[in-house]
Amino acid sequence: MPYYYKLGNIPHKRHTQFRKPDGSLYAEQLFSTEGFSNDYSLLYHCHPPTAIIKTEPSYDVSPKVAEEKMLRHRSFEGFNIKPASDYLQSRTPVLVNNDCHIVLAAPQSGMQDYFFKNADADEMIFVHEGEGVLRTMYGELPFAYGDYLVVPRGTIYQIQFKDPNNRLFIVESFSPIRFPKKYLSKYGQLLEHSPFCERDIRPPQNLPTFDKKGDYLIRTKKRGMMYNLHYGHHPFDIIGWDGYCYPFAFSIHDFEPITGRVHQPPPVHQTFEANNFVVCSFCPRLFDYHPNSIPAPYNHSNIDSDEVLYYVDGDFMSRKNVTRGMITLHPAGIPHGPHPGTVEKSIGAKETKELAVMVDTFHPLQLTQEALGIENANYTMSWAE
């Protein structure tokens, strides 16, 4: 995670007595997504975070795969995912493999009477439309259009929206989501050539402590099943915490594009990485400044990765008929590039206002039944002149 941070009250030394005003002990919890071998945080609860008072039968929420193997370009209308009143019900997986699930959501409301914990995956929630507050064990994260919310697996959270008009692009990662190694010093600081820095990272703020007993439902997802676990104490009973493992927000509008005299390759747009996939941000930027430069991207072969592009806003000079929320999938094994006529049209352009999120996976993606329901027919033939 980004850097050391602390919030609230913590003892002088870890793993030592830390007592409440009445003399009883706070309950210390070590939180890490990689056991005891990597980044972690220490949280201090008013009550032990272990008191389950009731469970309910689990139910299957695993994606329903419709196509496991294919070799053709695909396109999907993301905004055709219908809004749903409940946050979890609105989450719709569209592209999946063993490393990540790519999910669309259009929730009309957040979580009012339950909490959620993804026990399998880190979550990267990109806010395309809407604003609100992500409430977690670590405090509060206000968010708005263009924010990435990165939530470590196992984090208990509630998400609340300002109004019913919300669109989210979510990546569930079955390995920790990190900043790219190429941006980091050997001590973990973001280097000068990084397109963002620690000042751009927003950690949780305003840590309210809910020292309450009762019946608190935490919907917990594990290996494709949802478990309804009822706890006897409010999960946000934290008096303080510190460490390196916590949810944070980063705005795509704070990404500083790297440009050059000629067209730069996609890795200059990299924002996050995990095992077997990367996330990139395509942001408004000046075009190349060589006198004979071609701003449109050159044709390139997808040999080692499936390329997913989620279109957010702006005009895309290399694609025709692009809509907000559209997803394109260009699978490994066949080349792709700009649509006919767009290369010549791009020459002489000085800048682009495009905004998009790209996910490159190094293992093939599978299509879900929901993806087929929002597919644009004949996209694979759209390069024919």
Q: Encode pLDDT of 98-154 as tens digits.
A: 999 999 999 999 998 999 999 999 999 999 999 999 999 999 999 999 999 999 999
Give yes or no for residue 317 having a pLDDT over 70.
no
Q: Do 51-61+81-236+245-250 and 253-381 have matching folds?
A: yes
Give yes or no for residue 223 having a pLDDT over 60.
yes
Digit-coded pLDDT (tens) for 334-359: 888 888 888 888 888 888 889 999 99
Q: Is 126 helix (H, G, I), strand (E, B) or coil?
A: strand
3's tokens: 């850097």
Digit-coded pLDDT (tens) for 142-190: 999 999 999 999 999 999 999 999 999 999 999 999 999 999 999 899 9
What pLDDT is stored for residue 318 in this prediction? 64
- Stated pTM of the model: 0.95
Please answer whether residues 229 and 52 qualify as being in contact, where contact means their C-beta atoms are separated by less than 8 angstroms.
yes
What average pLDDT score do residues 24-48 get?
Answer: 94
Work out the number of other CB atoms within 10 angstroms of the CB of residue 39.
19
Please answer whether residues 243 and 40 qualify as being in contact, where contact means their C-beta atoms are separated by less than 8 angstroms.
yes
343-374 burial code (b ≥16 CB/10 A, e <16): beebeebeebebbbbbbbbebbbbbbebbeeb
What pLDDT is stored for residue 363 in this prediction? 96
What average pLDDT score do residues 293-316 get?
Answer: 87
Digit-coded pLDDT (tens) for 263-294: 888 889 999 999 999 999 999 898 888 988 88
DSSP 135-162: EETTEEEEE-TTEEEEE-TT-EEEEEES
Q: Report the half-sphere exposure of 89 (CA within 13 A, side-chain side).
A: 10
Give yes or no for residue 255 having a pLDDT over 70.
yes
The pLDDT confidence band at residue 242, using thresholds 50, 70 and 90, is: very high
What pLDDT is stored for residue 112 in this prediction? 85
In the chain, domain spans: 51-61+81-236+245-250, 253-381
What pLDDT is stored for residue 191 in this prediction? 94
The pLDDT confidence band at residue 385, using thresholds 50, 70 and 90, is: low
Mean pLDDT computed over every residue of the chain = 93
Span 51-61+81-236+245-250: which CATH code? 2.60.120.10
Work out the number of other CB atoms within 10 angstroms of the CB of residue 83.
15
Q: Is 223 helix (H, G, I), strand (E, B) or coil?
A: coil
Dihedrals phi, psi of 268, to nearest 5 degrees: -70, -15
What average pLDDT score do residues 234-246 get?
Answer: 97
Q: Report the half-sphere exposure of 370 (CA within 13 A, side-chain side).
A: 19
- Enumerate residues 6+ apart whose C-beta is below 8 A from 385: 340
Torsion region of 90: left, alpha or beta (phi above 0 gives left; psi -120 to 50 gives alpha): alpha
Q: Domain 253-381 has what CATH class?
A: mainly beta
DSSP 318-340: T-SS--TTEEEEE-TTSEE-PPT
* Rounded (5°) CA angle 77-141-117: 70
